[in-house]
């Protein structure tokens, strides 16, 4: 296969267009919101289930496409998605957003009313993107969601957000870094949309507490799971290493994603700790997760510990706990590599960028229909023909391209 020049803006713009063409306009449900389950060829295999993560990420996709390409259809789709968030996902009594809905003939029934900070982070991201797309009403919605998260999830004594609450806002004991990572992303975008310093303050605090304070508890690396006092929980989901939102083990994709976020934070509020931490996290991801035989970064690796796992050994030894390849891990890693290359001037990061892109272009990109496959086995073979179940709308892949365009 002849590879394009991944350092040319046109290559990335063409790829975004090709990916968007898979979803738009086929994803738009005229009765409300977006269809969220697609086979490889674009066939919709579940027209009724609506997940908050997909609903918000579709707003991101269309708002970004509108700003880049100025096609009014993307702005219409952005407004269409925001209306579904406001009128269907949102509970006007509690202020919460339904995690999962059944939507049929213009009527919704709630399948899961659990309140997730992860979900609200994407609500913030969607409203911030709406503002930047010119949807003025989204300014009030963004402030409202900030207040909601502040009231129900923010724990000032820890400087981090709690993770999950019942429909009536009773907090559950689990604490996780993933929700805080995406909250940091959302707050950075909210700052860019509004220039309100509170969002930048919060993004900086989240980044510092997760990538410095919490890593000190786990061999200077980012662990995913904690108890209500933000102490490491080594056992959480240990038998569920493929969990879509809370897998066991270290997540190299999150190392890369944090590296990217730290460099975005540095643009707005530079501090001496940010670049060294970004470089360290990216280096650990590539060192411990790159598959030298088949290419690509594996999904997860875990510490080698004697049972019972009550403490981390001084010298960290790790082994792959999930050799599958996930689309978003490759996308976030190539974005981080490009940002590090531009920031440091080191050629080695451009080499990493090329290596990851080449792997993804050959194995993950569907050059016929558009979009990326979601998950491959360790040997790069496919599991199924379900390209985009709920949660995956190629927000990671197109978002990576937009981020790289910022530095090319």
Residues belonging to the active site = 254, 396
Of 226, 231, 264, 246, residue with least CA distance to 343: 264
Of 258, 76, 272, residue with least CA distance to 182: 258
- Spell out the residues 6+ positions from residue 258 whose beta carbon is closer than 8 angstroms to its own: 181, 207, 210, 211, 222, 278, 281
DSSP summary character for residue 17: H
Positive or negative CA dihedral for 73, 78, 83, 89?
positive
Determine whether 8 is exposed, middle or buried from the number of CB atoms within 10 Å of its CB (0-12, 13-18, 19+). exposed
Of 199, 198, 221, residue with least CA distance to 313: 221
Decide: 319 and 244 in contact? Cβ < 8 Å.
no
Determine whether 161 is exposed, middle or buried from the number of CB atoms within 10 Å of its CB (0-12, 13-18, 19+). buried
Decide: 180 and 205 in contact? Cβ < 8 Å.
no
What DSSP string runs through 317-370?
Answer: -EEEEE--EEHHHHHHHHHHHHHHHHHH--HHHHHHHHHHHHHHHHHTB-TTT-
Q: Which H or E run contains 385? A: none
CA distances, 278 to each of 154, 179, 341 (Å): 25, 19, 12
How far is Cα 386 from Cα 370, in angstroms, rounded to an integer? 13
> Coil, strand, or helix at residue 408?
coil
Determine whether 71 is exposed, middle or buried from the number of CB atoms within 10 Å of its CB (0-12, 13-18, 19+). middle
CA angle (220 as vertex; 218, 226 as ends), nearest 5: 30
């Amino acid at each position: 296969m002849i590879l394009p020049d991944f350092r040319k803006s046109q290559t990335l713009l063409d790829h975004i267009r090709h990916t968007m063409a898979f979803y738009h306009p086929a994803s738009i449900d005229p009765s409300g919101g977006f269809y969220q389950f697609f086979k490889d060829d674009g066939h919709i295999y579940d027209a009724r289930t609506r997940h908050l993560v997909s609903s918000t990420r579709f707003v991101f996709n269309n708002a970004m496409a509108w700003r880049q390409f100025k096609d009014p259809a993307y702005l219409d789709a952005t407004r269409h998605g925001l209306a579904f968030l406001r009128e269907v996902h949102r509970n006007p009594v509690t202020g919460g957003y339904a995690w999962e809905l059944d939507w049929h003939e213009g009527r919704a029934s709630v399948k899961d009313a659990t309140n997730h900070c992860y979900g609200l982070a994407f609500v913030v991201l969607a409203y911030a993107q709406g503002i930047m797309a010119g949807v003025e009403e989204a300014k009030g919605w963004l402030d409202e969601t900030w207040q909601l998260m502040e009231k129900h999830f923010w724990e000032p004594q820890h400087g981090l957000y709690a993770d999950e609450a019942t429909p009536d806002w009773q907090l559950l004991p689990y604490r996780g870094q993933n929700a805080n990572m995406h909250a940091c992303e959302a707050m950075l975008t909210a700052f860019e949309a509004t220039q309100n310093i509170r969002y930048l303050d919060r993004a900086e605090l989240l980044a510092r507490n997760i990538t410095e304070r919490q890593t000190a508890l786990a061999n200077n690396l980012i662990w995913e799971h904690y108890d209500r006092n933000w102490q490491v929980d080594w056992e959480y989901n240990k038998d569920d290493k493929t969990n879509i939102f809370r897998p066991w083990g270290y997540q190299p994709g999150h190392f890369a994603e944090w590296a990217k976020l730290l460099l975005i934070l540095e643009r707005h509020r530079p501090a001496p700790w940010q670049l060294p931490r970004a470089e360290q996290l990216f280096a650990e991801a590539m060192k411990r997760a790159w598959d030298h035989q088949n290419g690509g970064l594996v999904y997860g690796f875990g510490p080698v510990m004697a049972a019972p796992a009550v403490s981390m050994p001084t010298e960290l030894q790790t082994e792959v706990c999930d050799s599958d390849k996930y689309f978003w891990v490759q996308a976030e890693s190539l974005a981080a590599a490009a940002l590090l290359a531009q920031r440091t001037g080191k050629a080695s990061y451009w080499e990493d960028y090329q290596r990851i892109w080449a792997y993804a272009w050959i194995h993950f990109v569907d050059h016929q229909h558009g979009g990326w496959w979601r998950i491959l086995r360790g040997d790069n073979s496919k599991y199924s023909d379900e390209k985009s179940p709920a949660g995956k709308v190629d927000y990671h892949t197109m978002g990576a391209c937009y981020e790289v365009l910022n530095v090319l």
